[in-house]
Structure 1
Amino acid sequence: MRQQGAWMKWEQAMERSVTWKDIWQWNPQRIKFLIQEVYDVLPSPSNLCIWGKIETPACPLCSKIGTLEHILSSCSKALGEGRYRWRHDQVLKSITEAISKGIKGRRRTQATAKTIHFVKEGQRPEKTPRNRSAGLLPTARDWVMSVDLERQLKMPPHITQTRLGPDTILVSEATKQLVLLELTVPWEERMEEAQERKREKYQELVEDCRRNRWKTRCMPVEVGSRGFASHSLSKAYGTLGITGANRRRAIGNNVEAAEKASRWLWLKRGEQWGQ
């Protein structure tokens, strides 16, 4: 019960609801995998050994104890073969697609934002309050996004010199704004640890950029290896200005990408890695 109830400790993970519509539309194997991975009742070597089905709980790749956590998040051989990196990139693609749509959507909105407000005779025009919750994307028209896919991303040399390469960089030259987004796909119980580790890693880089007079934000985000987004991801979308239905849709696509990739890693757990 301690093992199957571990999901109750996912303090940094957002709730995820599966509707009747999802149940009707999804492949039954997808629903089965999602439920079994959340409650840790998949037939991992560790569970099979506990259930008396096999004699040893060894991981088929590295011979360590093959728990579900080990297979989906901690196997050194899987890491060395690039399995976790492949999953990370699937989620990163999904996140950057949402940001790209947000940038394009803001540009279209800015192009058609001019409106005429009529005022009755004898009345003064009301001052339109500024929307302080609009986010960063509407504050500039020249956002350029660079993503660490296929080759390591490097910081623009005119901003600062560093060996660090975040997963995603958003730059506005006109307003001298810089956004660093760093994705981690950890085991859900380790989301907070991943957040703190990435903030500490990029703290000095952020300070260097600010000393060079760039308005810099660093946003570490997490999507769990079992397909649950962290609150940091929702907050990051809100900071950028991706809210409402667009944010819900984006997060839904992100967690689906993580879930599908983890299922593929699970199916290939004892096979040669070929994606």
Structure 2
Amino acid sequence: MTGSGEPPDDAADGRRRAAGAARTVAGLARACHPGPAAAVTALVTALVAVAGWGPAGTALTALAVLTGQLSVGWCNDAVDAARDAAAGRTAKPIVAGLVSARTVRVAAFAALAACVPLSLACGVVAGATHLLAVAAAWVYNVWLKGTAASWAPYAAGFGAVPVFVTAGTPGDALPAWWAVLAAALLGCAAHLANVLPDIETDVATGVRGWPQRLGPARVRVLLPLPLLGASALLVAAPPGPAGPVRWLALAGVAACAAAGLLLGRRVPVAPFAAAIAAAGIDVLLLAATPGVVTAG
């Protein structure tokens, strides 16, 4: 054994350092909001693959979007650390003591620094569009989250997706107006669904964004509307007859919206899960409709 005046045992010290590093990695993994980060990365990557970016472009997009989402998630938890602690949100890794707010903040800026060259490597227009979407998310985290305009960064970020996708296709085609509007509506739905479970604690800690001002009951009723509106645009607006596939997709989104509405009170994550499922159906709808993504 090591005496009180002797240096600590090297093996024990190594184990403590390894355990601390493991806690930090686990904390960072949880603080990045892994569910939304993975979902957004997968959806955008699927869209560029369908649009014909090719394997290299698709892989580059996945890395650019992933680093952007990591930066946004870590920024969110770092900015909200004091508020989360005041609300007793022990599920948050910073509050739980797994990782420090400073470490999460450093990780956010590191991911943002990696996102810039990865995004620009996708093309100047596509890269600038993606960076503007990431910037909108950061503005939400540090400013607009507590204002009535909290929906705007979500609408801008999601609405930028069709612009990003089409900018990387041959000929730099512009997205159709209805594709941009549908994506922006999905962004508004994602905002409502993401905030819904935390509205009461947000209000208690002084957050007064758009959903908090509406209240949980109104948000649950409102949430299906942008989901259905986005899907209706993707079904009815593309040229040519809608066909059974588009109508089936709309029915699927309606089912997701209904499930989120009915289960929202008992299962707090149900509305967000329903919004992600609806967005996934819309991605499949885009894939099944020739020319939707690259329409001018």
Same fold (TM over 0.5): no
Higher helix fraction (1 or 2): 2
Higher strand fraction (1 or 2): 1
Greater Rg by CA: 1
TM-score normalised by L of structure 2: 0.28
